[in-house]
Amino acid sequence: MKTAEIKRRFLAHFAANGHTVVPSAPLPAIDDPNLLFINAGMVQFVPFFLGQRTPPYDRAASVQKCIRTPDIDEVGKTSRHGTFFQMNGNFSFGDYFKAGAIPLAWELSTKPVSEGGFGLDADRIWATVYLDDDEAIEIWHKTVGLPLDRIVRRGKRDNYWSMGIPGPAGPCSELYYDRGPAYGPEGGPDVDEDRFLEFWNLVFMQYEIADVTSKEDFRVVRELPSKNIDTGMGLERIASILQGVDNLYEIDEVRPILALAAELTGKEYGAKSGHVAGESHPDDVRLRVIADHVRTALMLIGDGVTPSNEGRGYVLRRIMRRAIRAMRLLGWQEPALPLLLPVARDCMAPSYPELATDFDRISQYAYAEEDAFLSTLRAGTTILDTAISTAKQQGSPTLSGDQAFQLHDTYGFPIDLTLEIAAEQGLTVDADGFRRLMADQRARAKADAKARKTGHADLSSYRSALDAGGPVEFTGYHEVTRESR
Ligand code: ATP
Ligand code: MG
Ligand code: MG
Ligand code: MG
């Protein structure tokens, strides 16, 4: 079943059950200062859940475009993490609760394909519930008929949702699909989350919490007067199950990008890997990273993000650079995006036609970014390679802060790239030394600016900035994130 068809069936199922279909919000989370990108379907409905606004419907369904940069290091190494993905979701605002949400999810998952469902084998589905959520267990077992030995109780870390702040919270229940012994050991989601693939999370917003010190430490104040449902089903994950492929990089919306990258670099994808993602050959992991990141770049630029040195633009820049570097590591030295991006567009345009109409603009940004990065790489790589081999010859496990700074300062070589390349060679970088030099440089720039303003060099401010310099925290590319569930 094609991904676009899965999406259509999801929305049709919930529309037939009284839900209003709501379009995806754009990827940049412009209304939320704590979040760079939308990372779950519920984000656009937060004001409804918090009671700040009255929803114009009491049931909604959507397919939300999501970005999760915290998952970036998992991409390609697990079967199930993309930096971009789509979250199918159904929502109840004070309308149905657990007894509605669980059977609705079960029905769509197991209804035969010929009747509009996904036709999953009911015997392979497992559910997790929060420790003391006997109500959910009762519904899974008595109403739905799931045997007790496939219902797993889990603690707060896995099965309790909150926004990490005082407000609504509640237990959740997740659906897992057992992909069989080829993918890992027996024993359920507690043993292996790759064989047992999480595909749907049902959140039961039923309490108000306060005194929150962490995701696992808070006080329940009261039951909410109106209880809400927020669910998220990973579209790519269910697609990987229904298309019988090993991971979400092999589904119809992603695989063609991967296939072209493999063809260009002369790699035979999958020849050296089995079904278990964690044991994949590094070349296969790189091909998946390329496919994922090229698609993510397309979706981000499509939603108005452009490469830059901060915030959202920097996340995009970093993702594009990782894709380009992975192509180089596989042996492709030429610009790759003019070949790969149109394929990504063709994969996604059936669901997002604006990507085709807007492609001239999107591709201009993408190709210019790649050209600039390739020049940077050409300039910096030789220097870095020399530094690395010198360090190795001297038996030193560390590149000096000075070398990292020079690469940054003279060649525009980003520190995260230096760190990444050094790590690939088994070396570390003196990040403290690098930070000190960066702080010095910033202080100099400030003093210069002041001198320009006042007409003479104000050395005192330079001195004090230097003295106060201390360690300036290098936060790199890490996004401001808030786990949304
Ligand atoms: P996991 O434990 O596999 O990282 P999660 O528990 O972080 O997933 P949720 O926050 O519960 O995921 O999100 C709801 C659903 O969205 C998940 O059940 C999954 O189907 C999908 N999903 C989450 N993260 C990703 C991702 N990085 N790529 C693709 N799908 C995802
Ligand atoms: Mg996760
Ligand atoms: Mg999970
Ligand atoms: Mg989850």
Ordered DSSP codes for 450-482: HHHHHSS--HHHHHHHHHH--PPP--TTPPP--
Residue 475 lies in a domain: no
Question: If you measure from the C-alpha of residue 465 to the centroid of ligand 1, how many angstroms do you get, rounded to a whole number?
Answer: 44
Question: If you measure from the C-alpha of residue 154 to the centroid of ligand 2, how many angstroms do you get, rounded to a whole number?
Answer: 16
Parent domain of 283 = 254-393
Q: Would you say 305 and 93 are in contact if contact means Cβ atoms under 8 Å apart?
A: no
How many other β-carbons are positioned within 10 Å of the β-carbon of residue 251?
A: 22
Identify the domain boundary among 362, 393, 424: 393
Using CA atoms, how far apart are residues 89 and 120, in angstroms rounded to an integer? 18
| Nearest Cα residue to atom 27 of ligand 1 | 81
9 and 71 belong to one structural domain? yes
User: Each residue of 81-123: pLDDT tens digit?
Assistant: 999 999 999 999 999 999 999 999 999 999 999 999 999 999 9
Reported ipTM exceeds the 0.85 cut: yes
| Nearest Cα residue to atom 23 of ligand 1 | 234
Instruction: Find residue 234's DSSP bridge partners.
Output: 87
Sequence-ordered list of residues with C-beta below 8 angstroms from that of 452, at least 6 positions apart, any chain: none
258 and 179 belong to one structural domain? no
333 and 385 belong to one structural domain? yes
Identify the domain boundary among 219, 242, 265: 242
Q: Is 236 in the pocket of ligand 1 (CB under 6 A)?
A: yes
208 and 83 belong to one structural domain? yes
CATH assignment of the domain containing 90: 3.30.930.10
38 and 8 belong to one structural domain? yes
Using CA atoms, how far apart are residues 103 and 141, in angstroms rounded to an integer? 11
What's the confidence (pLDDT) of residue 26?
A: 98
| Nearest Cα residue to atom 14 of ligand 1 | 232
Residue 150 lies in a domain: yes
What's the confidence (pLDDT) of residue 272?
A: 93
337 and 238 belong to one structural domain? no
Q: Is 89 in the pocket of ligand 1 (CB under 6 A)?
A: no
Q: For a substitution probing ligand 1, which of 42, 74, 78, 87 has the most ligand atoms within 8 Å of its CB?
A: 87
Q: Is 249 in the pocket of ligand 1 (CB under 6 A)?
A: no
The H-assigned helical ranges of 43-114 are 46-49, 98-110
Which of these, 251, 230, 306, 256, lies nearest to 64 by C-alpha position?
A: 230
Using CA atoms, how far apart are residues 413 and 427, in angstroms rounded to an integer? 17
Q: Is 170 in the pocket of ligand 1 (CB under 6 A)?
A: no
Residue 272 lies in a domain: yes
Residue 413 lies in a domain: no
Q: Which atom of ligand 1 is nearest the CA belonging to 248?
A: 29
SS3 content of the chain, % helix, strand, coil (to 5): 50, 20, 30
What's the confidence (pLDDT) of residue 424?
A: 83
How many other β-carbons are positioned within 10 Å of the β-carbon of residue 47?
A: 12
Dihedral angle sign, alpha carbons of residues 106, 108, 109, 114: positive
131 and 261 belong to one structural domain? no
13 and 65 belong to one structural domain? yes
Structure tokens at 293: 């990141």
Once rounded to an integer, what is the mean pLDDT over residues 213-230? Answer: 91
Question: If you measure from the C-alpha of residue 231 to the centroid of ligand 4, how many angstroms do you get, rounded to a whole number?
Answer: 10
Q: Is 482 in the pocket of ligand 1 (CB under 6 A)?
A: no
331 and 382 belong to one structural domain? yes
Q: Which atom of ligand 1 is nearest the CA belonging to 87?
A: 16
What's the confidence (pLDDT) of residue 24?
A: 98
Using CA atoms, how far apart are residues 36 and 268, in angstroms rounded to an integer? 37
Question: If you measure from the C-alpha of residue 158 to the centroid of ligand 4, how many angstroms do you get, rounded to a whole number?
Answer: 7
% residues pLDDT > 70 (the chain): 93
Q: How many domains does the chain have?
A: 2
User: Each residue of 145-165: pLDDT tens digit?
Assistant: 999 999 999 999 999 999 888
Q: Which atom of ligand 1 is nearest the CA belonging to 197?
A: 3
| Nearest Cα residue to atom 30 of ligand 1 | 234
Higher per-residue confidence, 234 vs 476? 234
User: Each residue of 162-217: pLDDT tens digit?
Assistant: 988 888 899 999 999 999 999 999 999 999 999 999 999 999 999 999 999 988 89
What's the confidence (pLDDT) of residue 476?
A: 37
In which residue are the tokens 């079967």 written? 79
Residue 406 lies in a domain: no
Amino acid in position 172: C
Which of 122-126, 326-330, 439-443, 470-474 is predicted least confidently? 470-474
Provide the pLDDT confidence category of residue 457 given band limits of 50, 70 and 90: very low
Using CA atoms, how far apart are residues 482 and 378, in angstroms rounded to an integer? 37
Q: Which atom of ligand 1 is nearest the CA belonging to 200?
A: 18
234 and 268 belong to one structural domain? no
Residue 210 lies in a domain: yes
Which of these, 336, 254, 340, lies nearest to 79 by C-alpha position?
A: 254
216 and 142 belong to one structural domain? yes
Residue 23 lies in a domain: yes
329 and 302 belong to one structural domain? yes
The burial class, CB within 10 Å (0-12 / 13-18 / 19+), for 38 is buried
User: Each residue of 21-53: pLDDT tens digit?
Assistant: 999 999 999 888 888 999 999 999 999 998 889
Residues with Cβ within 5 Å of ion ligand 3? 198
Which of these, 293, 173, 288, lies nearest to 230 by C-alpha position?
A: 173
Question: If you measure from the C-alpha of residue 71 to the centroid of ligand 2, how many angstroms do you get, rounded to a whole number?
Answer: 7
Higher per-residue confidence, 476 vs 373? 373
Residue 323 lies in a domain: yes
Q: Which atom of ligand 1 is nearest the CA belonging to 75?
A: 27
> How do strand 151-154 and strand 160-162 relate by DSSP bridges?
unpaired
Question: If you measure from the C-alpha of residue 201 to the centroid of ligand 4, how many angstroms do you get, rounded to a whole number?
Answer: 5
Using CA atoms, how far apart are residues 264 and 258, in angstroms rounded to an integer? 10
In which residue are the tokens 């109409």 written? 357
Q: Which letter, b or e, does each residue of 275-297 get, where b requires 16 or more Cβ atoms within 10 Å of its Cβ?
A: bebeebeebbbbbbbbbbbbbbb
Question: If you measure from the C-alpha of residue 124 to the centroid of ligand 3, how many angstroms do you get, rounded to a whole number?
Answer: 18
- Which helix (H) or strand (E) segment holds residue 407: the answer is helix 401-411
Amino acid in position 452: R
Question: Would you say the pTM of this structure is higher than 0.90?
Answer: no
Q: For a substitution probing ligand 1, which of 85, 86, 254 has the most ligand atoms within 8 Å of its CB?
A: 85
Using CA atoms, how far apart are residues 9 and 477, in angstroms rounded to an integer? 37
Identify the domain boundary among 342, 372, 393: 393
Q: For a substitution probing ligand 1, which of 198, 204, 215, 240 has the most ligand atoms within 8 Å of its CB?
A: 198
